[in-house]
Amino acid sequence: MGVFVFLPLVLPLTAWPVARLAEQHLHPRIATRLLTALSAAMALCSTLCLGLVMVVGTAQLPGNPLPDGWSDPEVRAAVPFDEVAGKVAIPALLAVLAACGRALWRHGRVRRRAHRALAGLPDTGVAVLPDGVPYAYALPGGRRDRVVVTTALLECLEPAERRALFAHERAHLAARHHRFLLAVQLASLANPLLRPLRTAVSYTAERWADEEAAQAVGSRRTVARAIGKAALVSRGAPSLTLAGFAAPGPVPRRVAALLAPAPVVRSWPSVFTEMGPAAWSAAAGTAVSAMSSANSAVTMLFILHAATPL
Amino acid sequence: MTEHRSGPRRRGQGELEVQVLSALREADGPATAGWVQERLGADLAYTTVITILTRLLAKGVVTRERAGRSFAWTPSSDEAGLAAHRMRRVLDAESDREAVLASFVTSLGPDDERLLRELLGQARAEGED
């Protein structure tokens, strides 16, 4: 299988252009689904290949529980640089598994604790908390999905803007956005090269909910005002970016997108725009990634089967 | 509230806090821990009630004043106030909660505030046309 086994580890690079361009040129719903699917597929392939390389690495270690045949020269010849790659793959795979496990556990814990905090309130879809700190978020799961919002945030919004806020949060819950966000989070932990896709999806998921809210309240400008006001009252410590390098953050970009005309839904971007080549190269990267990891997995199975004395 | 009295199953601290606060809110005026215990049923130890009340006091949800040898407790907030306090604890404990809970707005970068005000000003000007 040669160097093909390492390809899925670096092929996420082919998705970088589409991650950057999809934010601006695709409908946020399509961008979210596309980028999440790319992330998940590439993360699975990359983890699979890491696993295959790890088997070779583990078989070299003295006292390992694997069959002796697995450390034969024929098996090791299947992986280039088997000495180094195999040994590096062991801690790498363990780190991936630990990070993903920890992320899943924390995800569950935050949701459980948040639901428990609301235990004494009436069982309604919206929980209004008397708090001086303005915040709002969608809380999925539990006995029922809930929108949590504080009085401080509601007080600074006009009635139409409040409707926009609730419509935005309900859109998150209705479209199960937390699953997309969790998927790209796990993918970016499995392969750090997928991080730009995670950043892109957390933005497009917000944009998706913004567009749904704009449709629900019938005014893009109202949603833009609600987001702008909420961001201005809840501004806390500035994020840790250097002022000189700071591109506009997600909030101004969302507001600007809402003040612009509504995005159109296209099934697949045209080849003649810059979006076309980016989408095609990401699709090709994913396909190559899937093929080389499948190829590596099958080759490895055959080699190990042949090397196993039964 | 009837479902909470269905049996002697072990109840979480959070659930107990809500029950003790609700009981206090049903009292006419300040109530003692003994009164709360009686109100909630016999399966709750007196010391547990005191523990819960002290925890609610730390959260600023109840107040107390000396009445003879014990304390008389008064609620100073409702169940929503208690929920708000506990939610803040949950949110403050998570450094990257935005990974889990999709927040309505994220924090603004250094130049974002100026940009945002410009955009909103522009939206207002267009809205008046």
Radius of gyration, CA atoms only, chain B: 22
A-chain residues within 8 Å CB-CB of B76?
Answer: none
- Non-local (6+) Cβ contacts of A99 within 8 A are A189
Residue of B nearest to A227 (CA): B105
Nearest-CA neighbor of A18 among A217, A248, A286, A302?
A: A286
Tokens of A244: 């000189």
**What does the pLDDT read at residue A5?**
80
Q: Which two tokens stand for residue A180?
A: 């997309």
pLDDT at B76: 87
A138 contacts B90? CB cut-off 8 A: no
Q: Which amino acid is at A198?
A: R
What is the DSSP code string of A217-241?
HT-HHHHHHHHHHHHHHT--SPPS-
Measured between CA atoms, how close is B69 to chain A, in angstroms?
31
Q: What is the mean pLDDT of residues B91-99?
A: 69
* A44: its two tokens: 């699975």
Q: Compute the half-sphere exposure of residue A306: CA atoms within 13 Å on the CB side of its CA.
A: 11
Closest partner residue to B100 among A111, A168, A172, by Cβ?
A111
Chain-centroid distance, C-alpha B31? 20
Q: State the CB neighbour count (10 A cutoff) for residue B46.
A: 12
Element (H, E) at A137: strand A136-139
Which DSSP state fits A148?
Answer: E
CA distance B68 to chain A (A): 32
Q: Does B115 touch chain A (CB under 8 A)?
A: yes
Q: Is B14 on the interface with A (CB under 8 A)?
A: yes
Shortest Cα distance from B104 to chain A (angstroms)?
6
Average pLDDT, chain A: 84
Interface contact A230-B103, CB threshold 8 A: no
Helices A220-233/B112-128 angle, 10° precision = 150
* Banded pLDDT at B112 (limits 50, 70, 90): confident
Under 8 Å between Cβ of A12 and A191: yes
CB pair distance less than 8 Å for A119 and B14: yes
Residues 39-58 of B with CB under 8 A from A: none
Cross-chain residue pair A221–B127, CB shorter than 8 Å: yes
In DSSP terms, B103 is beta-bridged to A137
Instruction: Spell out which residues of chain A touch residue B110, defining contact as CB-CB under 8 Å.
Output: 238, 241, 243, 246
Nearest CA to CA, how far is B22 from chain A (Å)? 9
Nearest CA in chain A to B97: A110
The helix/strand/coil state of A261 is coil
Q: What is the pLDDT of residue A310?
A: 64
Distance of CA A56 to the CA centre of its chain: 30
Q: Is B110 on the interface with A (CB under 8 A)?
A: yes
Q: With bands split at pLDDT 50, 70 and 90, how would you rate the model's confidence at B7?
A: very low
Q: Do B100 and A107 touch (CB under 8 A)?
A: yes
CB B64 within 8 A of CB B74: yes
What's the average model confidence in pLDDT over A50-77?
A: 77
Task: Please tell me the CATH code under which domain B2-75 is placed.
Answer: 1.10.10.10
What's the pLDDT tens digit per position in A123-159? Answer: 888 999 998 888 888 998 878 899 999 999 899 899 9
**A227 to B105: CB separation less than 8 angstroms, yes or no:** yes
Window from A1-5, A38-42, A216-220, A226-230 with minimum mean pLDDT: A1-5
How many angstroms separate the Cα of A287 from the Cα of each of A12, A261, A273, A281, B27? 11, 34, 22, 10, 68
Vertex A239 angle, CA A238 and A242, to 5°: 100
